[in-house]
Amino acid sequence: MPVEQAIRARSARVIVVGNEKGGSGKSTVAMHIAIALIKSGQRVATIDLDTRQKTFSHYVENRRTWAKHVVRDLGLPDHFCLDEKINYLTAEDEVVGCKALTDMVDALAHTHSVIVIDTPGHDSYLMRLAHSMADTLVTPLNDSFVDVDVLGTVNPETFGVTGTSHYSQMVEEARRQRHALDHVTTDWVVLRNRLSTLGSRNKRLVGEGLQELSRRLNFRCTEGLAERVIFREFYPRGLTAVDDLDELTLGTRPTMSHVSARLEMQSLLGTIMLGPMVSGEMVGPKRDAA
């Protein structure tokens, strides 16, 4: 399927969480974005494109199960996962998979204000297609040069940026196609995850490298999530830092770490949604003057 047929004007905003590397916190960020938007009054649909790992799908199901256990309405997105039996081995298979995703997004756009898509941590045709659909692209990165490598290359002596890498080049192409077809400028936000609360030489050098790359690649760079054990503890119960975490909902007494995580996540979500949010309401994709 040509990309022109997938990139269409939609009333719903499409937020894609993507990074061509696993373990960067994509599913955690996607879940927090979805739940925060639900709590702000939006009707949210979520799509899991990682049909093998299904971390996002398991996160949503964990939340559904825990809500029943504590007899609370925690708020759930309308969640979908592409059929794991579909294999994209040939060009014909890719056309089928592309149409399945495009039709799903088109259908959901008629009944939802926001669609959040979580992508797998590896290159795939559907991952690329989702990036070309994004109104907002969120890329979580661990605060390490191992993760920065998916965006750009650095000089081993000076740690200065020497070029761009495979993932950022793919994003540039997806953004170029999107803008050429409907004059929408995809807002790209890069999050620095697992940040140390202490200053270090590595933290400073990674920050300087990302700032240089942000100028080259036109993305917004912001601090994401600190290294907190509670984010790992949220997952089995499907909870997020933006939930009302009293003792019943949480299953244990809240701590200052929970309070800090909530404030951190509220600040982060405010940064991510800067632009798309006007007076507390979602607005459509930003189109440049033709």
User: Is the alpha carbon torsion for 187, 193, 196, 202 positive or negative?
Assistant: negative
- Could you give the residue ranges of the DSSP H alpha helices within the chain? 3-6, 26-39, 55-70, 91-109, 125-133, 145-148, 166-182, 201-217, 229-234, 247-250, 256-272
Q: CA–CA separation, 88 vs 105, rounded Å?
A: 19
Contact 177, 229 (CB under 8 A): no
Q: What is the reported pLDDT for 129? A: 94
Which residues are within 8 A (CB) of 149 and not within 5 positions of it... i.e. 6 or more apart? Answer: 165
For residue 280, the model assigns a pLDDT of: 39
The per-residue pLDDT for 275 is 47
Residues 118, 112: Cα–Cα separation, whole Å: 17
Q: 164: closest CA among 185, 150, 180?
A: 150
Query: Is the Cβ–Cβ distance between 97 and 128 less than 8 Å?
Result: no
Q: Which two tokens stand for residue 8?
A: 């269409």
Ranges of residues in the chain whose predicted pLDDT is under 50? 275-284, 289-290
**CATH entry 3.40.50.720 includes domain 11-274:** no
pLDDT tens track for 268-287: 888 887 644 333 344 445 55
* DSSP β-ladder status, 136-142 and 78-81: unpaired
Mention every residue, 6+ apart, whose C-beta is less than 8 A from residue 278.
none
Q: Domain ranges in the chain?
A: 11-274
Distance between first and last Cα of the chain: 26
Full-model pTM: 0.88
